[in-house]
Amino acid sequence: MSTLDAVSDLTGTSAGTALGPLARTGALQTVPKDLAVIIPAFNEEGGIRTTIEKVQAVLAQMACRTELVVVDDGSADATAAEAAAAGARVIAHPHNKGYGAALKTGIRGTTAHNILIIDADCTYPPEAIPRLWAKMDRYDMAVGARPITSSGITWARRPAKWFLNKLASYLVGQHIPDLNSGQRIMRRSVVLHFLPLLPMGFSFTSTITMAMLANGYPVAYEPIEYAVRTGTSKIRPQDFGNFILLVVRAIVLFNPLKVFLPAGALLFLVGVGKLIEDIYLMNLSETAVMAFLSAIVVWSVGLLADMIARLQLTRGPQA
Q: Give the tens place of pLDDT for each residue, 285-305.
A: 788 889 889 989 988 988 888
- Calpha distance 38→239 (Å, rounded): 24
With cut-offs at 50, 70 and 90, classify the pLDDT of residue 116.
Answer: very high
With cut-offs at 50, 70 and 90, classify the pLDDT of residue 147.
Answer: confident
Q: What is the pLDDT of residue 314?
A: 53
Residue 92: what are its φ and ψ, rounded to 5°? -110, 130
Question: Residue range 59-83: average pLDDT?
Answer: 95
Query: The dihedral of CA 20, 26, 27, 30: what is its sign?
Result: positive
Query: Which strands form 114-117's sheet, in the order they lie side by side?
Result: 89-92, 66-72, 35-41, 114-117, 184-187, 141-145, 219-223
Residue 139 CA neighbour count, 13 Å, CB half: 19
Q: What confidence tens digit (pLDDT) does each residue in 229-256 have?
A: 665 655 555 555 666 676 677 677 777 8
Q: Is the pLDDT of residue 15 over 70?
A: no
**Which one-letter amino acid corresponds to residue 193?**
H
Tell me the pairing of strands 219-223 and 66-72: unpaired
Beta bridge partners, 231, equal: none
Q: What angle do CA 259, 262, 268 make, to 5 degrees?
A: 135
**Which one-letter amino acid corresponds to residue 101?**
A
Q: Is the pLDDT of residue 8 over 50?
A: no
Dmax over CA atoms of the chain, in Å, equals: 96
In Å, how far are 69, 97, 103 from 74, measured between CA atoms? Answer: 15, 7, 13
